[in-house]
A and B are shown apart, each in its own frame.
Chain A
């Protein structure tokens, strides 16, 4: 059974129209990550939560926001998507322990038209 679930798998949105991607987990992990991955590139960390403590990367554009209403769910909001925001968005979870692996969802591929 999938432990980290991202919805939808594919999302098409219009230029400038707000879009929300969702991630849920059944692992009860403290930490949730959001990554942006463009074609043939490394995943780029946008932000992460440790419980409710939000950690924003310094170079994450203000256009990207996140919410974590409870342990199980985390949302990525893109307020005004541009063509450059088309990418795969990956959600991952882990415990606070240093050595525990991160479990990834299957990703949401975002297309901006």
Chain B
């Protein structure tokens, strides 16, 4: 079974500062993928960044980077230079398992509020 844990229900950050959203995971599979999604109040899920279990480099996408520590089973999202439009729910998610049974499992989410 797969499990994603996000321990920060809510976070505040000042505009233009960096913020780290925590995510830990648990799986018995050796191959897995880790994802971060953003969900604004409008409800759509927006893909942000991906990290594969065998990737040696931390993933980066613009202002988003993923701090991947495999031994600690953590995949924290770092948002640099926060903007007001970054205020949203952020979900960490994982896919693992055999090809036909790769469920995408989400954590409980972190609500980020960016303050001017």
Do A and B come from the same complex? yes
> B50 → chain A, closest Cβ, in Å?
6
Q: List 10 A-B contacts (CB under 8 A).
A: A40-B111, A43-B91, A45-B103, A45-B104, A92-B104, A96-B100, A98-B31, A98-B32, A107-B43, A107-B44
* Residues in A whose Cβ lies below 8 Å from that of B50: 99, 101
Q: Please give the residue numbers on chain B whose beta carbons come within 8 Å of chain A beta carbons, in ascending order.
A: 31-33, 35, 43-45, 47, 50, 52, 89, 91, 95-96, 99-109, 111
The 7 closest A-B pairs by CB, nearest first: A104-B45, A50-B100, A101-B47, A42-B106, A99-B33, A98-B33, A42-B108
A15–B50 Cα gap in the complex (Å)? Answer: 40
Contact partner of A55 (CB less than 8 A), chosen from B44, B89, B100, B109, is: B100
- Report the count of interface residues on A (CB-CB < 8 A): 27
Residue A53, interface by CB 8 Å? yes
B103: A residues at CB distance < 8 A: 33, 45, 48, 55, 57
The CA-CA distance from A33 to B106 in the complex, in Å, is 13
- The residue in chain A whose Cβ has the minimal distance to the Cβ of B48 is A101
| Closest Cβ–Cβ distance, residue B38 to chain A (whole Å) | 11
Q: From A47, which residue of chain B is reached at the shortest CB distance?
A: B103
Q: Is the CB of A31 within 8 A of B102?
A: yes
A102 at the interface (CB under 8 A from B): yes
B-contact 0/1 string along A1-41, CB 8 Å cutoff: 00000000000000000000000000000010100000011
Among B43, B45, B52, B89, the residue within 8 A (CB) of A99 is B52
B99 touches A42 (CB 8 A): no
Contact status A50-B101, CB under 8 Å: yes
Q: Which residues of A contact B44 (CB under 8 A)?
A: 104, 106-107
State whether A88 and B99 are in contact (beta carbons under 8 Å apart), knowing that A42-B107, A98-B31 are contacts in the complex: no
Contacts of A92 in B (CB 8 A): 45, 104
Residues in B with CB closer than 8 Å to A78 are none
Inter-chain pairs besides A45-B104, A57-B103, 10 sampled, C-beta below 8 Å: A50-B99, A50-B102, A88-B43, A92-B45, A96-B100, A96-B102, A98-B32, A102-B35, A104-B45, A107-B44
